[in-house]
């Protein structure tokens, strides 16, 4: 086989969808080119006005209801971990952390650098972390990790809970009371289901080439559907409405956290559902450990006002107040928990000899320069080393 | 076909100045080979489209910094091929799809049909290689870079490029021979 034979064969390989791909790409590329503009120059004449506006904002913050909320929050704050880092300057494991603050979503890199993605309400990573899909009002937007928009879908109804399929080729989202799916280049948007509950849909991770989605109906039932064939694979009715759906990495277990936090269910196939019982404790959040079917969850005991983080039967951490959310590091070695009352993040080591890593001043970290004390950010995902 | 050097420099300067028609000329000249190169490395049409499109977007974003006296192709191909390798590796790591296996299965020629479909033999053989090895083959035989240029594009030692070329070509020829003998 000569060099020319190889070249001829490479040129003869039929490349699917070549012209359509070119047409779609040109639309995106030409739009990006048309949108190029020089960096705006700041007018010096505006500075006194900006300073006045800032002063006015400070005064307003002190007098307004949010301003009063600052005082309440300071009084309610509990003592966190003593040796907490003063700021989030490094993640203890590889990957990027996605959080959503009052301002919008932020991507935090391993070295602690943070990128604000824009004024969006919700966000989640694409499977390889190359993109983040965000929602705002009536728009679903795919953005690059530096915040550059890639494509947008606009619906007449408010949208939420956009989630990217593990295949990389589909994005599901809620629009009003419907569930819709769009091809991951922003085209081919279509209705998948009506009368759905306000719960984020969850894609089954394996087998990734099949686009299988779990979602909660408004009637309380949980459906598992093959999106491409529209075939319903299973349906179950938990004892209380679902609040969160989580698949195990192998796609065999679907964890359903239910309203009220008393009945998280997990199951798959004929054994679905089984119930995880936590008598006397409210479950605040739950996740499945990467590569296993072990449930990590946080419980809150109203009598003592204390929270506990569990990994299966193992108690990892107890704290005053609520440990709100848990997120695993991509390598499964750390469990990150949010602690709003202490304004701290807790990185809990699951293996090895490392100690707990606590980070302080989290609210301000994701609202730099804000005049009021912002809400505690939501921990959305930790992805892709 | 990419335009000659003079055309291309004019298109780059025009695109830098904001001309959509010059950008389109540049895009039309380079898209087919960029997309084909990406497809031959990632073996997935949607993935190739993403990779090639991202490469052009990266080029548009960096357009103001680009020296219009330099050829545009190698600059673009460097982005395309490196992103394609990253894409294919990430996909393999995540086990999203057994990409190589799937493609090998999809394109494996049926017995008795080999001579009629030489390009499918090559594609199936290519699928058996690691993504970075595929990239070397694509850069050498599709995009026609010399081993020295490939070593600069992939930031690999020249010897590594040569050995990957040799091994890649051996695998291709071996597989094609194997199939021909069936």
The structural domains of chain B, with segments of one domain joined by +, span 5-181
- Residue A317, Cα to own-chain centre: how many angstroms? 23
Tell me the pLDDT tens digit for each residue of B8-61.
888 888 888 888 888 999 999 999 999 999 999 998 888 898 889 888 988 887
pLDDT number for residue A164: 96
Q: Which of B15, B141, B172 sits opposite A33 (nearest CB)?
A: B15
Cβ-based contacts of A209 with chain B (< 8 Å): 96-97, 102
* Interface contact A32-B169, CB threshold 8 A: no
Regarding an ipTM greater than 0.85, the answer is no
A80 and A117 part of one domain: no
* Interface contact B35-A18, CB threshold 8 A: yes
Interface test with A, best of B96, B121, B136, B166 (most A CBs within 10 A): B96
In a domain, A177, yes or no: yes
A187 and A284 part of one domain: no
A304 and A384 part of one domain: yes
DSSP symbols for B145-167: --HHHHHHHHT--HHHHHHHHHH
A77 and A152 part of one domain: no
A309 and A352 part of one domain: yes
Percent of chain A with pLDDT strictly greater than 90: 42
- Closest by CA to A144, choosing from B12, B50, B166, is B50
pLDDT number for residue B14: 87
Place of tokens 């050995």: B163
Tell me the pLDDT tens digit for each residue of B62-86.
887 777 777 888 889 988 998 888 8
H or E segment to which residue A226 belongs: strand A222-226
pLDDT number for residue B177: 57
CA A330 – CA B176 distance, rounded (Å) = 40
Residue in A closest to B57 by C-alpha: A29
User: Which two tokens mark B19?
Assistant: 């001309």
Better pLDDT: A20 or B140: B140
Q: Is the pLDDT of residue B121 over 90?
A: no
| Domains held by chain A: number | 2
Place of tokens 């990430």: B90
Q: Scan residues 43-102 of B and list those with Cβ closer than 8 Å to A.
A: 45-50, 52-53, 56-57, 60-61, 63-64, 87, 90-91, 94-97, 102
CA B121 – CA B119 distance, rounded (Å) = 5
pLDDT number for residue A161: 95
pLDDT number for residue A1: 65
In a domain, A245, yes or no: no
* Interface contact B20-A32, CB threshold 8 A: no
User: Which two tokens mark A79?
Assistant: 């003592």
At A74, give phi and psi (nearest 5°): -65, -40
Place of tokens 């590329």: A29
A318 and A301 part of one domain: yes
Domain boundary among A156, A176, A194: A194
In sequence order, the 6+-apart residues with CB closer than 8 A to the CB of A382 are A91, A93, A95, A96, A97, A98, A327, A328, A329, A330, A336
A86 and A124 part of one domain: no
- Closest by CA to A242, choosing from A275, A299, A197, is A197
Q: Is the pLDDT of residue B180 over 80?
A: no
A159 and A131 part of one domain: yes
A83 and A107 part of one domain: no
Domain boundary among A179, A194, A209: A194
Distance (Å) from the C-alpha of residue B111 to the closest C-alpha of chain A?
19
Segments of chain A with pLDDT less than 70: 1, 36-78, 259-280, 371
In a domain, A300, yes or no: yes
Distance (Å) from the C-alpha of residue A209 to the closest C-alpha of chain B?
6
DSSP symbols for A124-146: EE-TTSS-EEEEETTEEEEE-TT
Average pLDDT over residues B84-110: 50
A108 and A78 part of one domain: no
Band (B113; pLDDT cuts 50, 70, 90): very low
User: Which domain does A105 fall in, by range?
Assistant: 96-194
pLDDT number for residue A54: 23
Q: Which of B18, B35, B137 sits opposite A15 (nearest CB)?
A: B35
In a domain, A199, yes or no: no
A286 and A382 part of one domain: yes
At A61, give phi and psi (nearest 5°): -65, -40
**What is the average pLDDT value for chain B, to the nearest integer?**
76
Q: Does A19 touch chain B (CB under 8 A)?
A: no
Cβ-based contacts of A12 with chain B (< 8 Å): 118-119
Q: Is A296 exposed, middle or buried (0-12, 13-18, 19+ CB in 10 A)?
A: buried
* Interface contact B46-A185, CB threshold 8 A: yes
Domain boundary among A194, A214, A240: A194
Cβ-based contacts of A184 with chain B (< 8 Å): 46
Q: Is the pLDDT of residue B117 over 70?
A: no
In a domain, A367, yes or no: yes
Q: Scan residues 28-57 of A and list those with Cβ closer than 8 Å to B.
A: 28-30, 32-34, 36
A82 and A128 part of one domain: no
* CATH number of residue A100's parent domain: 2.120.10.30
């Amino acid at each position: 086989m000569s060099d020319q034979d190889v070249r001829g064969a490479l040129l003869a390989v039929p490349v699917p969808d070549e012209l359509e791909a070119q047409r779609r790409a040109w639309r995106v590329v030409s739009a990006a080119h048309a949108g190029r503009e020089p960096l705006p120059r700041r007018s010096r004449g505006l500075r006194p006005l900006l300073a006045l506006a800032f002063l006015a904002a400070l005064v307003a913050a002190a007098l307004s209801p949010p301003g009063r909320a600052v005082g309440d929050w300071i009084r309610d704050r509990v003592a966190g971990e003593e040796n907490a880092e003063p700021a989030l300057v490094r993640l203890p494991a590889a990957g990027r952390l996605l959080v959503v603050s009052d301002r919008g979503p932020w991507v935090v890199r391993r070295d602690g650098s943070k990128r604000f993605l824009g004024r969006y309400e919700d966000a989640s990573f694409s499977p390889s972390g190359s993109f983040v899909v965000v929602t705002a009002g009536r728009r679903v937007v795919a953005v690059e990790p530096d915040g550059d928009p890639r494509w947008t879908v606009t619906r007449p109804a408010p949208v939420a809970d956009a989630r990217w399929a593990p295949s990389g080729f589909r994005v599901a989202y809620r629009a009003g009371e419907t569930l819709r799916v769009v091809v991951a280049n922003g085209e081919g948007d279509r209705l998948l289901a009506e009368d759905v509950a306000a719960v984020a849909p969850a894609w089954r991770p394996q087998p990734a080439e099949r686009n299988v989605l779990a979602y909660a109906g408004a009637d309380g039932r949980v459906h598992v559907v093959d999106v491409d064939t529209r075939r319903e694979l299973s349906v179950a009715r938990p004892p209380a409405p679902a609040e969160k759906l989580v698949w195990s990495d192998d796609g065999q277990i679907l964890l359903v956290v239910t309203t009220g936090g008393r009945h998280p269910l997990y199951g798959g196939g004929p054994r679905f559902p089984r119930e995880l019982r936590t008598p006397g404790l409210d479950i605040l959040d739950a996740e499945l450990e990467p590569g296993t079917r072990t449930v990590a969850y946080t419980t809150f005991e109203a009598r003592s006002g204390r929270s506990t983080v569990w990994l299966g039967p193992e108690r990892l951490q107890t704290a005053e107040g609520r440990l709100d959310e848990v997120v695993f590091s991509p390598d499964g070695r750390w469990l990150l928990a949010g602690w709003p009352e202490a304004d701290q993040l807790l990185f809990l080591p699951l293996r090895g000899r490392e100690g707990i890593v606590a980070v302080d001043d989290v609210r301000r970290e994701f609202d730099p320069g804000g005049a009021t004390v912002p809400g505690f950010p939501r921990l959305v995902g930790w992805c892709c080393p | 076909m990419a335009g000659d050097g003079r055309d291309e420099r004019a298109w780059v300067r025009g695109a830098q100045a904001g001309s959509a028609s010059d950008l389109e000329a540049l895009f039309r000249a380079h898209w087919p080979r960029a997309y084909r190169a990406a497809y031959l490395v990632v073996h997935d049409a949607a993935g190739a489209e993403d990779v090639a499109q991202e490469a052009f977007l990266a080029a548009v974003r960096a357009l103001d910094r680009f020296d219009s006296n330099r050829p545009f192709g190698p600059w673009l191909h460097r982005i395309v091929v490196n992103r394609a390798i990253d894409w294919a590796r990430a996909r393999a790591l995540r086990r999203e799809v057994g990409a190589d296996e799937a493609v090998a299965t999809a394109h494996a020629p049926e017995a008795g049909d080999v001579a009629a479909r030489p390009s499918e033999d090559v594609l199936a053989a290519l699928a058996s290689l690691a993504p970075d090895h595929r990239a070397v083959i694509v850069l050498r035989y599709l995009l026609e870079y010399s081993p020295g240029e490939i070593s600069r594009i992939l930031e690999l030692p020249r010897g590594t490029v040569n050995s990957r070329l040799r091994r890649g070509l051996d695998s291709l020829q071996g597989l094609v021979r194997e199939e021909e003998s069936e």
